[in-house]
Structure 1
């Protein structure tokens, strides 16, 4: 009997052009990317009936390139989660083991590719939300440099951190999708010309001879031994192909998770203030005053979203801004400086993508802190606005393990090349 992995919130076919680099390919689109005429829910009751009047730039680019969208993929509500269990439309199951989570928040996108329900997928990555599910589902996921891919049409969670990224079964396919969606966009002032003329798919040649890869000691400490062994074996494969590995230390990473969640929750509390029942989305039916109606409207948010809004509002409130938000921004600057220093002597940085194997369904729901700490290896990349890729490194106890490769700003070609060497060896 076939397992229903609950991959899609909405199954809808949106035909692409007849020709182009993605012609004949199917693609799943995370449900926080606007699709004209097709509902976009963000995995929330708040937007259960919302139908955007326009396409996100990334959506337009994939259909112009010939891809056919086959559905809007399930996700943690408003991107807030690491397991795709906070979705108002039920959890997605991991195709590698249906009793385990697929990772999050782009779990539906990664599961769609892993289960063969789409050739490719688009996700968004605020603190690891493309790389985490890619690692847990045994597929490839790329978090681009901030500014390489337009965020126009992406429902905002934390603007200064998030990027739209590709998910695919192979490094070359993920790189091909990145070629399609990358490049400046007049609708998004944060996009840059840098990298627009690159050929990421051509970089998937596996040639790492002479490449120097830094192994971050801090990101192996405390990781599951099975994960460490699998990732170390993949790094050994890179050495066998001519890469040199050196240990690097990034002491600032001790504070990355704390800094990330203060910044992300603060931005979320501001971004989600727009859901007030006046303009769009769920609206409370209270006949009382405006405050009562507003409170009733925001009951449509799930528990995890409410938690992050409250914590973010607290961190930004008078008397606490300097104690929390300002210190988190200082830590962010330190993290970026540590990466910059490391890239003076290495071409890429390697670590486990996730320090743990996929959780069992329900395992982390009652322990949010455990879920937050699982993001320890992915959040630093977003704080530093760098590119990273998760590539399958093998399996442990039959479950997928991902190797993360981080590059300097707009160094996507380097990490694609290194990831393709890992893929070839595997």
Structure 2
């Protein structure tokens, strides 16, 4: 990707944009001074790229026909066999389509990415294959993962397998459906505002958003580095714990993983220990949102009573700042994703990471196809540019600073309790929105009030089904201390056995 010296006309245009005044003579001088930098950039471009090793042979792939893609859960199907033996031997795994699998197409739900094929496996894919799993396909996800509904994917809406007239949740929509229908035993999901837990809630499965950095994000298309999480989606709690065990730990690339190795636990160790003596706080602010279904709130309160019957110490706790969590997410999510995923061509700058430069080069073409984008992407892009032009990163910085106070408020509550309990989503699976952009955006973001705060504060959170409301799954979310996933699995397993 050779760089050329800017012309004097181009330099003059840049000066206008940056409000720099240079004379004609100055322009010539500055042009000359840039030659050394152009040469340096081109030397860098010629350096052979170092990338993660890719293991395990892979054959072809195919776009599934309608009869094998009933709910539009799959983007492509494939068959990549891992080790002959291992803890996940015999497991079929679906991979969310923002996760790189070498030689298998990836479009991250976006028409602007169609035609891109990664040349590396994400670390999580390598780890699953090394554990004996088999990758059976890429699961559809929402357009650039920017929706909690399942209606924005460029390949068409992903339908809820329990009621196809309802949404499957997003953005890991196809992953949730593939698990719920039994087409695979586990799936990889990504979570920046609730995108593992919201589809888990709508489809009635188990989804874990691990502590930030516990599972490496290397080889996954980012949204914003401070909220990027990847984790397991399964039908059972035990399977979820086993899958997380295969995924966790440092990989040497991901800068999110400062403390990951020191904090890896045996996530299966407490599955049969019951909840006697566990202290569980019912988070008052997690109930009674304007969009809450009172039946969902009641169903989750019944779960709290069940946990008390099983021997847990259950009582109410208040964290008033929880109501501010999704508000704080807005500047971080909007400014962060605009700078990283769009202006930064998927990665942005200023961190040590594995930069998938082939993806960055391919993704840069979004600038010529912006009209194709989903309403959610357009809205966040337009507002991000508006704020950047007038206030720069000021509000992003204010929000990140405020997140520390929010994190401390949860941490204080978690000194009194082992975990917090609330509905995962305030409602069950919603209907598909109308085609107008206002309805499309509302249908994408109305369900993330309880999930998004914990992407900011990095606490682990597990969503699991807890009964039906009017024939659709309700879901309870348990939130724990950082790197205390094993205790969340302990409570979730006891609850699962009792329902």
Quickly name the TM-score band, shorter chain normalised: over 0.9
Conservation of the 8 A alpha-carbon contact between 2:288 and 2:294: no
Matched, 1:88 2:184: no
Is 2:342 the counterpart of 1:281?
no
1:214 aligned to 281, 292, 297, which one? 281
Match of 1:189 in 2: 255
**Equivalence map 1:21-420=2 (5 Å):** 21-191=87-257, 192-194=259-261, 197-205=264-272, 207-222=274-289, 223-271=292-340, 272-275=342-345, 280-281=361-362, 295-319=367-391, 321-322=393-394, 324-362=395-433, 366-367=438-439, 368-369=441-442, 371-420=444-493
Report the Cα offset of residue 17 of structure 1. 1.3
How many residues are matched?
Answer: 416
Q: Which runs of 5 or more residues in structure 2 are unaligned? A: 1-66, 347-357
Unaligned runs of 5+ in 1: 285-293
> Residues 255 and 369 of structure 1: is their aligned pair in 2 closer, same or farther, counting only changes over 3 Å?
farther
Find the aligned partners of 1:311 and 1:160 in 2 and give their Cα distance.
Answer: 20
Indicate the larger mover: 34-43 or 193-202. Answer: 193-202
3-state SS in 1 of match to 2:226: coil
TM-superposition CA deviations, 1:327-356 (whole Å, max 9, x none): 322331221111011011100000000001
CA contact (8 A) 2:99 2:219 kept: yes
CA-to-aligned-CA distance 1:82-122 (integer Å, 9 cap, x gap) = 11211101111111111100100001101100011111100
Structure 1 residues 282, 332: closer, same or farther in 2, change over 3 A?
Answer: closer
**CA offsets 1:293-322 (integer angstroms, 9 cap, x no match):** x74243443332122122223333443643
Listed one character per residue, the Cα deviations across residues 118-148 of structure 1 (whole Å, up to 9, x for unaligned) are 1110000101100010111000000000010
* Distance in structure 1 (CA, Å) of the matches to 2:386 and 2:316: 39
Aligned twin of 1:287:
none
Distance 1:403 1:283, change over 3 A: closer
- 1:295 and 1:166 map into 2 onto residues whose CA distance is 33
Give, in whole Å, the separation in 2 of the partners of 1:169 and 1:208.
21
Q: For residues 68 and 224 of structure 2, what CA distance do their matches in structure 1 show?
A: 37
TM-superposition CA deviations, 1:233-283 (whole Å, max 9, x none): 111111011001121111112221121122111111112224499963367
Cα distance in 2 for residues equivalent to 1:29 and 1:196: 25
Which has more helix, going by share of residues?
Answer: 2
d(CA) in 2 for partners of 1:210, 1:140 = 24
TM-score for both structures, normalised by structure 2: 0.80
How far did 1:189 drift? Answer: 2.3
Tell me the residue number matched to 1:290: none
Q: Distance in 2 between matches of 1:193 and 1:296?
A: 39
2:288·2:297 contact (CA, 8 Å) conserved in 1? Answer: no
Q: Deviations over 1:388-423 (max 9, x none)?
A: 000111110010011000001001011111111110
Change (3 A) 1:116 1:386: same
1:316/1:329 CA distance change after superposition, 3 Å: farther
Question: Match of 1:14, SS?
Answer: strand
Counterparts of 2:102 and 2:443 in 1: how far apart (Å)? 37
**Aligned residues of 1:28 and 1:121 also touching (Cα < 8 A):** yes
Deviation at 1:63? 0.7
Deviations 1:354-409 (A, max 9, x none): 00111112259633246424200001111111100001111100100110000010
* Partners of 1:337 and 1:318 in 2: CA distance: 31
| TM-score of the pair, normalised by structure 1 | 0.93
**Does the CA-based 8 Å contact 1:46-1:282 persist in structure 2?**
yes
Q: Which structure is larger by alpha-carbon Rg, 1 or 2?
A: 2
Give the whole-Å Cα distance in 2 for the aligned partners of 1:52 and 1:82. Answer: 26
Aligned partners of 2:111 and 2:372 also within 8 Å: yes
Structure 1 residues 15 and 241, CA gap change in structure 2 (3 angstroms): same
Residue 21 of structure 1: CA displacement? 0.6
